[in-house]
């Protein structure tokens, strides 16, 4: 019996080796961690609502992420991955993986349950314990202040980011975090995916706080898709800049940390080789990236936005412009895929944010990942985004704060498509580094399986499988964890250069109807 088991085990090892050899080892480009700068950071991330659970324990109150999840009527993050109670075990797994850093967010409604006022001692204790455990294991804490989870108290009181009262309250919250944790936390991000937060939350209505208006967004009970995305974004920028300047003036001299801002990024590609689609690509960059980066770098919105949105987009005062301009030490980018762009005409008013772009965004599933994932392995898209930031925004310090592959949670620990994705994208950072891109670090999304905004527990990104059916929420390393850990500890990696060649879309309109099924409008 033992002999049969040993034979079976060896056969499985051989099969795995052959699979890896065929798919991941045979390639044109070999790289190793030593090819990256010595101070380059490799990590992985989560967010508070998606990982912690314990949503109504130890004094925490509701956030808009809670209420949005409940309103969807499917699943929620009440338990999530149980990180609130399993943080010591999780940090041990991070250390075993070899992470330099762990990116996580603080739950504002756990730390200050009413948004403003008394600090919750239990919340303070939890984050101190987590940070101390990370430092104890030599792992840098990279902390995000807001990840879709504004306290409901502030949303109810004055509609959150639609009211300039949020600027003072967000700054007060940031002050507590800087004061209590800044002696150990040196990398702060104020807002996660600010462009998705304001586009999805106030135009499409498909993310917290779920505001929109007919006919532009999902079914929402209140909102105005024509104005609210712009108002919310304006206040996000002012709140961020206020927190940045607070840190700069009050804490930086003694804590020596850095405060950054995070955006979701697509690489926009013209659908056809036409002047019209090229212009639509630039409008897309202006509206999606420039919406925040232009004020942060130049002090005002892109001209295209001011022309197309007109009086619906707020105006910066001279003082506000001066406060926002330059208010970042680094930019965090969350990148997953490319978007094809088709020119469209500017429709008559009333017009929402997406209508102002006068473009159609199309998701193109070019490759065929092993598990039918929606994220093609096209790392050249990330390279082009980095080049865009280098040329247009003066080469700011960048952290790739999210990048990863989604699979069905049912795939368990066998995730070769995630290995393929990660090795291609990590390897794709080397050329931009050689060409002068100021990228400082890379974080896999996500460290473990989490509650996901649009998919609940059906899809996952984790390096560790979490058994959500088990009351103990056991963690199990996936193939991707073993690959990432091996890379972090010095293993050579080979990746086929074909994955990093820009696709030719010039004949895209002459594709067969079967292939055209892969093209579909993007629903954000």
Peptide bond preceding 53: is omega within 30 degrees of 0, i.e. cis? no
d(CA 460, CA 455): 8
| CA 270/CA 342 separation, integer angstroms | 7
Query: Comparing C-alpha atoms, which of 330, 334, 337 is closest to residue 438?
Result: 330
DSSP character at residue 347? P
Q: Helix (H, G, I), strand (E, B), or coil: what is residue 186?
A: coil
Measure Cα distances from 519 to 150, 297, 378 in Å: 35, 34, 16
Burial class (CB in 10 A: 0-12, 13-18, 19+), 449: buried
Residue of 133, 228, 402, 452 with catalytic role: 402
Kindly report the length of the chain.
Answer: 524
420 belongs to the catalytic site: no
Point out the catalytic residue in the list 193, 228, 420, 452.
193
**How many C-beta neighbours within 10 Å does residue 335 have?**
22
* Whole-angstrom distance, CA of residue 463 vs CA of residue 341: 32
Q: Dihedral of CA 261/122/62/88: which sign?
A: positive
Q: What is the DSSP string of 34-49?
A: GGS-TT-EEEEE--HH
CA dist 167 and 485 (Å) reads 41
Residue carrying the six token digits 């080397």:
430
Q: Under a CB-based contact definition with an 8 Å cutoff, are residues 403 and 333 in contact?
A: no
**Measured CA distances, 33 to 41, 245, 246 (Å):** 10, 35, 36
Q: By the 8 A CB rule, do 260 and 332 touch?
A: yes
Question: In terms of Cα–Cα distance, which of 321, 359, 323 is closest to 243?
Answer: 323
Nearest to 415, CA basis, from 405, 403, 424, 423: 405
Q: Helix H segments across 43-145?
A: 48-51, 64-72, 83-97, 108-111, 121-136
What is d(CA 241, CA 316) in angstroms, rounded to the nearest whole number?
13
How far, in Å, CA of 223 to CA of 220, rounded? 7
193 is catalytic: yes
Which residues are known catalytic residues?
A: 193, 402
């Amino acid at each position: 019996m033992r002999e049969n088991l040993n034979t079976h085990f060896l056969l499985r090892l051989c099969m795995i080796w052959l699979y890896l050899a065929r798919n991941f080892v045979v390639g044109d480009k070999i790289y190793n961690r030593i090819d990256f700068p010595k101070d380059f950071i490799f990590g992985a991330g989560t967010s508070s609502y998606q990982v912690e659970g314990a949503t109504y324990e130890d004094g925490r109150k509701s956030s808009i992420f809670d209420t949005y999840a409940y309103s969807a009527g499917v699943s929620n993050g009440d338990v999530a991955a149980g990180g609130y109670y399993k943080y010591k075990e999780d940090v041990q797994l991070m250390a075993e993986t070899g992470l330099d850093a762990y990116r996580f967010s603080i739950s504002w409604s756990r730390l200050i349950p009413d948004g403003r006022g008394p600090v919750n001692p239990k919340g303070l204790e939890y984050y101190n314990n987590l940070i101390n455990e990370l430092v104890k294991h030599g792992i840098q804490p990279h902390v995000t202040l807001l990840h879709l989870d504004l306290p409901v108290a502030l949303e109810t009181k004055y509609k959150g980011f639609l009211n300039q009262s949020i600027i003072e309250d967000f700054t007060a919250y940031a002050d507590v975090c800087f004061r209590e944790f800044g002696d150990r936390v040196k990398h702060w991000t104020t807002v996660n995916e600010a462009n998705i937060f304001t586009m999805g939350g106030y135009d499409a209505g498909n993310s917290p706080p779920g505001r929109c208006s007919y006919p532009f967004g999902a079914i929402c009970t209140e909102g105005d898709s024509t104005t609210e995305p712009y108002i919310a974004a304006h206040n996000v920028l002012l709140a961020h800049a206020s927190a940045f300047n607070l840190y700069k003036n009050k804490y930086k001299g003694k804590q020596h940390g850095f405060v950054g801002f995070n955006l979701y990024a697509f690489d926009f590609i013209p659908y056809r080789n036409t002047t019209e689609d090229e212009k639509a690509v630039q409008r897309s960059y202006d509206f999606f990236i420039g919406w925040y980066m232009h004020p942060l770098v130049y002090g005002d919105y892109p001209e295209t936005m001011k022309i197309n949105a007109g009086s619906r987009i707020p105006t910066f005062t001279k003082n506000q412009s001066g406060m926002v301009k330059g208010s970042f030490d680094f930019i965090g980018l969350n990148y997953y895929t490319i978007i094809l762009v088709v020119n469209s005409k500017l429709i008559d008013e009333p017009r929402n944010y997406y209508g102002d772009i006068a473009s159609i965004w199309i998701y193109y599933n070019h490759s065929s990942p092993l598990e039918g994932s929606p994220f093609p392995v096209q790392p050249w898209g990330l390279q082009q985004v980095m080049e865009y930031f280098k040329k247009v925004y003066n080469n700011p310090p960048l952290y790739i704060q999210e990048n990863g592959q989604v699979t069905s949670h049912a795939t368990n620990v066998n995730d070769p498509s995630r290995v393929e994705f990660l090795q291609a994208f990590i390897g794709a950072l080397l050329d931009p580094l050689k060409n002068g891109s100021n990228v400082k670090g890379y974080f896999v999304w996500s460290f473990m399986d989490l509650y996901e905004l649009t998919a609940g527990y059906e899809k996952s990104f984790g390096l560790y499988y979490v058994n959500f059916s088990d009351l103990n929420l056991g963690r199990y390393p996936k193939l991707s964890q073993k690959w990432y850990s091996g890379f972090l500890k010095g293993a050579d990696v080979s990746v086929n250069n074909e994955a990093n060649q820009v696709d030719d879309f010039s004949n895209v309109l002459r594709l067969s109807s079967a292939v055209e099924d892969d093209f579909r409008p993007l629903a954000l």
